[in-house]
C-alpha cells in the first residue's frame, strides 16, 4: 500500500472510529441534538419503552461499532456501512429527514470503501 492509500485508510479509520463513538455517547446526553426526533412515528409507537431508551441502545451499538473500526478495521467498517445503510433506509421509507438519509448513504459507501481498502492489509 502506497503512502497516499495508507493516509486515506487512516483518515477513514479514525473518522469511522471516533464519529460513531461520539454520536453513540451523545445518545445519552442529547448535547448535539435530540436523537429521538429521528425515529419515525410508526416505529416509535411500536416500541415497548420510551424513544430515548431506544436511542441509548442505539448509542451502545454505535460505540461498539466505532471501537470495532479502531481495533478490527475491516470488520468494523463493514458493520458501520451496514448500520448507516439501515438508518438511511429507515429514514427513506418513512420519507423523513431525506437529506440525512442521503448523507448516511454516502457515509455508508465511504465506510464500505474503508473495508475494501483494509482487505489487503
- The answer, yes or no, to whether residue 26 has pLDDT greater than 80, is yes
- Asked if residues 88 and 105 have their Cβ atoms less than 8 Å apart, the reply is yes
What confidence tier does 22 reach under pLDDT thresholds 50, 70, 90?
A: very high
- Give the pLDDT of residue 42: 87
Residue 14: is its pLDDT beyond 90?
A: yes
**End-to-end Cα distance, the chain:** 8
pLDDT for 52 equals 93
Q: What is the pLDDT of residue 1?
A: 74
Please compute the mean of the pLDDT values over residues 16-21 and round it to a whole number. Answer: 98
Domain span at 100: 3-118
* Total domain count, the chain: 1
- Distance (Å, rounded) from C-alpha 52 to C-alpha 11? 32
Q: What is the pLDDT of residues 57-80, one digit of tens each?
A: 999 999 999 999 999 999 999 999
Once rounded to an integer, what is the mean pLDDT over residues 29-48? 92
Q: What pLDDT shows up at residue 121?
A: 64
- Cα distance between residue 109 and residue 78, in whole Å: 10
pLDDT of residue 91: 92
pTM over 0.85: yes
Amino acid at each position: 500500500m502506497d503512502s497516499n492509500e495508507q493516509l486515506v485508510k487512516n483518515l477513514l479509520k479514525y473518522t469511522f472510529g471516533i464519529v460513531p463513538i461520539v454520536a453513540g455517547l451523545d445518545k445519552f446526553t442529547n448535547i448535539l441534538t435530540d436523537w429521538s426526533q429521528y425515529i419515525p412515528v410508526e416505529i416509535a409507537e411500536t416500541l415497548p419503552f420510551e424513544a430515548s431508551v431506544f436511542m441509548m441502545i442505539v448509542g451502545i451499538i454505535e460505540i461498539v461499532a466505532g471501537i470495532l473500526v479502531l481495533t478490527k478495521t475491516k470488520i468494523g467498517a463493514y458493520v458501520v456501512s451496514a448500520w448507516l445503510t439501515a438508518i438511511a433506509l429507515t429514514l427513506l421509507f418513512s420519507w423523513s429527514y431525506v437529506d440525512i438519509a442521503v448523507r448516511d448513504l454516502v457515509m455508508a459507501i465511504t465506510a464500505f470503501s474503508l473495508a475494501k481498502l483494509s482487505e489487503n492489509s
